[in-house]
């Protein structure tokens, strides 16, 4: 009977030590370089832009009107896309990717203007 208890007792005593020795789990918002090192400037800018976008989208969704919430959320989403594209243009080198980033900026800016005009129209109509 003592042999049955020994592995169980050893596990019980070693578990806290193993937990202390294990590396901490990565944070959900942690940004690391390709090889686990410090994040690059581009990664940090992408992460900051994404955080701002998510915060602004969350604020938009506090509207009780689903149409307004959608439009406000999409404005925040498009602004996030523009921030990402600007980061790509700042740090990226690939000509094709740069061309796509420029196209994203151009298209998203037009749509943001349209969406803001829609919001202004709704506000002027008391909605």
The pLDDT, as a whole number, for residue 124 is 92
Q: Which residues of the chain have a pLDDT value below 50?
A: 8-12, 14, 16-20, 22, 24-26, 28-29
The pLDDT, as a whole number, for residue 9 is 47
**Is residue 32 helix, strand or coil?**
strand
Contact 40, 87 (CB under 8 A): no
The pLDDT, as a whole number, for residue 46 is 95
The pLDDT, as a whole number, for residue 37 is 77
The pLDDT, as a whole number, for residue 34 is 58
The pLDDT, as a whole number, for residue 127 is 72
Pseudo-torsion of CA 120, 121, 125, 127, nearest 10°? -60
**Where would I find the H helices in the chain?**
2-21, 41-60, 66-91, 95-124
CA–CA dist 109, 55 (Å, integer): 20
State pTM to two decimals. 0.70
Task: Please name every residue paired with 32 in a beta bridge, in sequence order, or none if there are none.
Answer: 38
Widest distance between CA atoms in the chain: 83
């Amino acid at each position: 009977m003592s042999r049955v208890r020994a592995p169980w007792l050893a596990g019980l005593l070693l578990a806290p030590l193993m937990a202390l020795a294990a590396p901490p789990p990565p944070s959900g918002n942690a940004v690391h370089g390709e090889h686990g090192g410090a994040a690059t400037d581009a990664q940090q800018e992408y992460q900051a832009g994404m955080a701002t976008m998510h915060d602004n989208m969350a604020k938009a969704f506090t509207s009780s009107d689903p149409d307004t919430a959608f439009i406000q959320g999409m404005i925040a989403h498009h602004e996030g896309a523009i921030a990402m594209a600007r980061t790509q243009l700042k740090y990226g080198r690939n000509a094709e990717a740069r061309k796509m980033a420029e196209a994203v900026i151009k298209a998203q800016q037009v749509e943001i203007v349209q969406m803001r005009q829609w919001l202004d129209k709704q506000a002027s109509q008391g909605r």
